[in-house]
């Protein structure tokens, strides 16, 4: 009898670990799969996902699993949530790991961060495999996929936004003798791995600015070594500041971060951003600022009706959004302070599960403070509006001394902010 009970406990444990093991097997297969496909089948080709693992159903939550002299109570979790993020050293993967730690509690789903392959491939894998619940990608990647029809002509009806996480800033680290992005014309510039988010954004940005370079594809660590020896002129990284890959760089090495002009050709897909001494204290002097551009980083999922949404997804979203204050405290990544739950991404639907959470919070706030103004104020605590003074400063920098352009950009920033705040603005109009 004792051996029989022990066997049943092992089977139950296997049932709970099966989704995690399947995800890890898929990640390992992804790492060995070719990153580029032949000319006929495009870049979507990849190794097939692993076969589903069949196990005995998990036991009731009151059962115990014995490991040595320790008994672990089976109080959940209510399933596993898999998040396709970025590569090692990139901000999206750091955020996914933070999220796993913050939601590590009985009764909550296990968050399983997976190092994704590229911004485009994350979206493709989300749609074409059953291993992932959410993927982290960039708004310029979504825009490019929608216009190119690589994943079909109806992408906006299949992919929805759970939340905007932060902005990913363009970092261009150049060697000695390079002071402007135009100086890179005709020179070798590292775009990291082919098809990565950095390579995708850098290709679009350099093309939009009309600067022809010689792209090379190296790992970040190898690129910095070749940059120091002069074998390449610069390396590009598109990720949220501060980037861990750049944390060890110092001004004494002769390397520098290049400023990026906010040209009109970039304004459809990118926003102005700035890098400061606070972001990179060993690379940027105190009081110095490096103007650059940024794309939004979003967590996306497949659009589902309320009836089709698994309970574990609802539970995950509620736990995630409710833990945002905790995520914004140390040792969480600084980019959690930029997360904006209520932000709308133009042209893309919000996932219904996120809408339900926002509506429930608005109702709860209204019960506590029954005026429409108070409801809007309560939502603003979650998602503070952009500072108009900061917006005007951004417009001033981007206009490069042109008053007409300055006013135009400032009005554009205000319009974007109003659109971003539209769910709360609507409450005031009721």
Over residues 22-27, mean pLDDT? 50
What does the pLDDT read at residue 89?
A: 74
Task: Let me know: does 345 contact 139? Beta carbons within 8 Å.
Answer: yes
Number of domains comprising the chain: 1
What does the pLDDT read at residue 179?
A: 93
What does the pLDDT read at residue 415?
A: 66
Alpha-carbon Rg for the chain, nearest whole angstrom, is 23
Structure confidence at residue 318 as a pLDDT band (50, 70, 90): very high
pLDDT tens profile 377-425: 334 434 434 555 556 556 666 655 565 666 666 666 666 665 655 444 4
Q: Is residue 357 part of a domain?
A: yes
DSSP structure string for 135-153: EEEEHHHHHHHHHHTTT-T
Of 356 and 428, the one with more pLDDT: 356
What does the pLDDT read at residue 349?
A: 95
What does the pLDDT read at residue 369?
A: 59
What does the pLDDT read at residue 135?
A: 96
pLDDT tens profile 167-187: 999 999 999 889 999 999 999
Q: Is residue 135 part of a domain?
A: no
Q: Which residues does 429 contact at the CB level (< 8 Å), separation at least 6?
A: none
The secondary structure element, H or E, covering residue 158 is none
What does the pLDDT read at residue 219?
A: 87
This prediction has a pTM of 0.69
pLDDT surpasses 70 at 309: yes
Q: Is residue 291 part of a domain?
A: no
Q: Is residue 69 part of a domain?
A: no
Least trusted range by pLDDT, from 8-12, 274-278, 282-286: 8-12
Domain that holds residue 406: 351-430
Task: Let me know: does 83 contact 114? Beta carbons within 8 Å.
Answer: yes
Structure confidence at residue 276 as a pLDDT band (50, 70, 90): very high
CB atoms within 10 A of CB 198: 27
Instruction: Assign 427 to helix, strand or coil.
Output: helix
Q: Is residue 68 part of a domain?
A: no
- Tell me how far apart the terminal alpha carbons of the chain are, to the nearest angstrom: 67
What does the pLDDT read at residue 416?
A: 64
pLDDT tens profile 193-245: 887 888 999 999 999 999 999 999 998 889 988 998 999 999 999 988 988 87
Residue 135 buriedness (CB in 10 A; 0-12 / 13-18 / 19+): buried
Percent of the chain with pLDDT over 90: 46
Report the relative pairing of strands 214-216 and 188-190 from DSSP bridges.
Answer: parallel
Least trusted range by pLDDT, from 56-70, 108-122, 123-137: 56-70
**Among 276, 210, 282, CA closest to 249:** 282
Q: Is residue 385 part of a domain?
A: yes
Percent of the chain with pLDDT over 70: 67
Q: How many CA atoms lie within 13 A of 45 on its CB side?
A: 10
CA distance 364 to 371: 12
pLDDT tens profile 89-120: 788 999 999 999 999 988 889 999 998 877 78
Q: Is residue 360 part of a domain?
A: yes
Of 79 and 13, the one with more pLDDT: 79
The residue whose two tokens read 């105190």 is: 286
Instruction: Assign 374 to helix, strand or coil.
Output: helix
Task: Let me know: does 361 contact 424? Beta carbons within 8 Å.
Answer: no
Of 29 and 251, the one with more pLDDT: 251
Q: Is residue 373 part of a domain?
A: yes
């Amino acid at each position: 009898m004792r051996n029989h009970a022990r066997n049943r406990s092992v089977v139950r444990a296997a049932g709970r670990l099966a989704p995690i093991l399947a995800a890890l097997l898929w990640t390992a297969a992804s790492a060995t799969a070719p990153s580029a496909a032949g000319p006929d089948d495009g870049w979507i080709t990849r190794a097939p996902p692993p076969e589903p693992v069949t196990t005995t159903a998990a036991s009731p939550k009151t059962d115990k699993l014995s490991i040595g002299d320790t008994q672990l109570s089976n109080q959940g979790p209510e399933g596993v949530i898999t998040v396709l993020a970025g590569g090692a050293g990139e901000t999206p993967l750091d955020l996914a790991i933070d999220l796993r730690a913050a939601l590590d509690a009985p009764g909550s789903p296990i968050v399983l961060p997976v190092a994704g392959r590229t911004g485009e491939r994350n979206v493709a894998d989300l749609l074409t495999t059953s291993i992932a619940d959410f993927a982290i990608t960039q708004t310029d990647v979504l825009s490019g996929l929608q216009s190119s029809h690589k994943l079909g002509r109806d992408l906006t009806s299949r992919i929805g936004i759970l939340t905007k996480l932060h902005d990913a800033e363009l970092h261009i680290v150049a060697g000695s003798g390079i002071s402007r992005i135009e100086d890179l014309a005709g020179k070798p510039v590292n775009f990291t791995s082919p098809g990565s988010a950095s390579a995708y954004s850098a290709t679009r940005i350099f093309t939009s600015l009309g600067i022809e370079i010689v792209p090379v594809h190296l790992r970040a660590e190898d690129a910095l070594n070749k940059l120091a020896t002069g074998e390449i002129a610069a390396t590009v990284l598109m990720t949220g500041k501060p980037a861990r890959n750049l944390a060890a760089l110092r001004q004494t090495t002769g390397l520098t971060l290049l400023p990026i002009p906010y040209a009109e050709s970039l304004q459809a897909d990118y926003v102005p951003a700035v890098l400061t001494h606070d972001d990179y204290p060993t690379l940027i002097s105190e009081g110095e600022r490096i103007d650059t551009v940024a794309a939004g980083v979003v967590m996306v999922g497949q659009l589902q009706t309320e009836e089709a949404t698994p309970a574990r997804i609802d539970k995950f979203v509620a736990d995630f959004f409710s833990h945002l204050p905790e995520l914004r405290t140390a040792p969480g990544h600084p980019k959690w302070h930029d997360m904006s739950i209520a932000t709308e991404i133009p042209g893309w639907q919000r996932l219904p599960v996120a809408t339900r959470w926002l509506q429930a919070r608005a109702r709860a706030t209204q019960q506590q403070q029954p005026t429409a103004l108070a409801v809007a104020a309560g939502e603003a605590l979650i998602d503070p509006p952009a500072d108009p003074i900061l917006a005007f400063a951004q417009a001033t920098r981007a206009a490069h001394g042109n008053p007409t352009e300055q006013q135009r950009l400032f009005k554009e920033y205000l319009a974007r902010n109003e659109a971003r705040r539209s769910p709360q603005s609507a409450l005031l109009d009721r």
